[in-house]
Structure 1
Amino acid sequence: MFSLKNIVRPTIQQLKPYSSARDEFKGTAEVYLDANENPFGKYNRYPDPLQLSLKTKLSEIKKASINQIFIGNGSDEVIDIAFRIFCEPGKDKALTFSPTYGMYDVSAAINNVELIKQHLLSDFQINLNQLQPYLEMDDVKLLFICSPNNPTGNCINKEDIEYILNNFNGIVIIDEAYIDFSTKVSFISEIENYPNLIVSQTFSKAWGLAGVRVGVAYANKEIINLYNKVKPPYNVSTLNEEAVLKKLENLTQFEIEKNIILKEREKLITELQKNSFVTKIFPTETNFILIEVNNANQLYKELVAKKIVTRNRNSLVNNCLRITVGSPEENQKLINTLITLQEI
């Protein structure tokens, strides 16, 4: 049976978090002389360490309580802090599925945690039979599931994820960076049902704020308390929080922009199907398309020579390029360039 206390590192359980000046005072004052700030300027004050304005807005939109939300410096911070909370360096392990997002590897290496990688099946779904022994290992503390998955573009079967949540005594992190482009329902609605679930989302993709670097974790309040305990005191700047709040004020515009991307995705798929270079187009529920081509390395270089950059994923999925859905003008330039290359 899952027990949060049993999988949190002892040093984290005993950790006394840094208490900032803003943590110690609640409310609004007329004079702030507590944090050694410069009294002049627009951004002279430290940001809210718990980003309560942003959490309040997200609570309304996502139907999660404020104490079930963690705001991170990008979703990469959500990933990194999970390793620091749950995995003893040089001892514990984490698990993910291949091919998938490369930052799981990087964060595991930085934290000196072995990352086990299970190969997905040919349809990019989880092989539960091969996974089963790892679900029963005491030293496997974290399990990452990217859904929709990067770079494959597909969602992982909900029933398989639920099986893992019910049968794994560690933490399951579902990375939903691309969920806004998907027809599937977010697992945020399940955090009350699974004490070992963390759902990670980001404002870098559908929300168009990659330069702002804000990610979010949704989980039960006990896990969120651990995140707040471990994070740096002022991990998200005032500028970044303001940028996200401004975007959240206009949900209608967000839907308009997202729908343009989805329409362009279908148009791009239709045009790619006509191309002799393309041997397969994989189903996608994201803002990118994974395509199999005759020679991925060669086509990638030819596109770069035409000043079009795609992502060569040949090392992860044989002879595949990952193409982000751009603006209508960018997509048309790609289509025209591929036609030109076919004629050479």
Structure 2
Amino acid sequence: MNIDINKLVRKNIQSLTPYQSARRLGGKGDIWLNANEYPLAPHFNLQNSNLNRYPEPQPETVINQYASYAGVQPTQVLVSRGADEAIELLMRAFCEPYQDSIIYCPPTYGMYSVSAETLGVQARAVPAKSDWQLDLPAIEANMENVKLIYICSPNNPTGNLINPEDIKSVLKLAKNRALVVVDEAYIEFAAEHSVASWLKEYPHLVILRTLSKAFALAGLRCGFTLANEPVIQALSKVIAPYPLPSPVAEIAAQALTRDGLTTMKLHVVNINAQKTKFVYELRQLLCVEQVYSSFGNYVLVRFKADSNVFKQLWDKGIILRDQNKQPGLENCIRISIGTQAECDAVISALNSL
């Protein structure tokens, strides 16, 4: 008996284009520089033997350690399955489906719009200006029924920091109207530019963090929301009962010790040094039109229009992240900073084109 299950799927999901994550795109490469991962695996010890018991809903040790690291109170921290879960939790807690909207500012991270469309929340794109800074008049003109404004800084995939005065302008505009969500997934690579200290002044500010990047724990799927207590309480109502598995909490706690934080800071030093060398070498290549400054663990490169770089390197087993479909990013590729050998392989492959 044939049954068309698609008829039962919600209409907005039927028409939804899912987020094309690095792993979803596949490929058969030897060098993977498409997901902004740290290139080397860290080592941790797992000792938890109580896997027959459910984990803590919000593991106290992890919460306290991250609060200390971020300079906030434990009551201002929520831990989730990556920052991606937090993006969606905010919509579930604050947006009425088919009534409210979010604002996001492409070119930027794709999950803001995908999460909104999944939940029946209008995703209102307000493109960034040509310098990838916020278009404040356009944001103001699109504020009707908006509950959440997502700002990524350092921005993925462009790598630039958002002008802090512009973020303050958005906070002023959104007062008593919406939450302003600053995604700081890459902030460890530019730690002095965090807005976490602003929480005291702005009750409607929310900050997203992760262990996936500088902490080299992308496979752990551990993220954090920093916000004032009323926001955390609202999110606590809609988060899954046990979002963080016990082994994940155990490793996260180790990563947030003094030694763990020292290791993370060494990761940042190493990646930033490797990035400086890599950018210099990219700028010498004939096929490169422009290499943009980056405050993340990746660089955005604009190649000459006829170079077909992405496909040619894909065929050589070097998997990068094509950004060609993002607004204003024609012929652009995002390249994660890998090991010395991986970066050398990219330069060698580009030289051979």
Q: Fold conserved (TM > 0.5)? A: yes
Q: Distance in 2 between matches of 1:125 and 1:179?
A: 17
Which position in structure 2 is the counterpart of 1:72?
80
Q: Deviations over 1:157-197 (max 9, x none)?
A: 00000011012120110000011111542111111111111
Which position in structure 2 is the counterpart of 1:310?
320
SS at match of 1:263: helix
SS at match of 1:314: coil
Shift of 1:58: 1.1
Which position in structure 2 is the counterpart of 1:338?
350
**Which of these residues, 100, 104, 116, is aligned with residue 96 of structure 1?**
104
Contact 2:158 2:300 in 1 (8 A): yes
Q: Distance in 2 between matches of 1:86 and 1:269?
A: 41
Q: Does 1:147 align with 2:147?
A: no
Contact 1:180 1:206 in 2 (8 A): yes
**Which of these residues, 291, 301, 306, is aligned with residue 291 of structure 1?**
301
Q: Distance in 1 between matches of 2:298 and 2:89?
A: 28
Q: Distance in 1 between matches of 2:221 and 2:333?
A: 25
Which position in structure 2 is the counterpart of 1:328?
340
By relative contact order (CA 8 Å, sep 6+), the higher-ranking structure is 2
Q: Does 1:258 align with 2:268?
A: yes
SS at match of 1:211: helix
Contact 1:296 1:312 in 2 (8 A): no
Which position in structure 1 is the counterpart of 2:8?
none
- AA aligned to 2:311 is K
Contact 2:86 2:208 in 1 (8 A): yes
Q: Distance in 2 between matches of 1:296 and 1:122?
A: 23
SS at match of 1:119: coil
**Which of these residues, 328, 331, 339, is aligned with residue 319 of structure 1?**
331
Q: Distance in 2 between matches of 1:302 and 1:196?
A: 46
Q: Does 1:280 align with 2:286?
A: no
Q: Distance in 2 between matches of 1:295 and 1:274?
A: 17
Q: Distance in 2 between matches of 1:103 and 1:318?
A: 20
**Which of these residues, 105, 119, 127, is aligned with residue 113 of structure 2?**
105
Which position in structure 1 is the counterpart of 2:169?
163
- AA aligned to 1:209 is L
Shift of 1:62: 1.4
Q: CA RMSD in A?
A: 1.4
Shift of 1:48: 0.8
Shift of 1:42: 3.6
Contact 2:153 2:160 in 1 (8 A): yes
Which position in structure 2 is the counterpart of 1:131?
139
The sequence identity of aligned pairs, in percent, is: 34
Q: Structure 2 regions of 5+ residues with no counterpart? A: 1-48
- AA aligned to 1:284 is S
SS at match of 2:273: helix
Contact 1:72 1:235 in 2 (8 A): yes
Which position in structure 2 is the counterpart of 1:201?
209
- After the TM superposition, which segments of 4 or more aligned residues of structure 1 sit over 6 Å from their partners? none
- AA aligned to 1:338 is L
**Matched residues, number:** 300
Shift of 1:296: 7.6
Shift of 1:56: 1.0
Q: Distance in 2 between matches of 1:184 and 1:284?
A: 15
Normalising by structure 1, report the TM-score: 0.85
1:21-36 maps to which residues of 2 (within 5 A)? Answer: none
Shift of 1:130: 1.9
Which position in structure 2 is the counterpart of 1:24?
none
**Distance of aligned partners of 1:184 and 1:155 in 2 relative to their CA distance in 1, 3 Å threshold:** farther
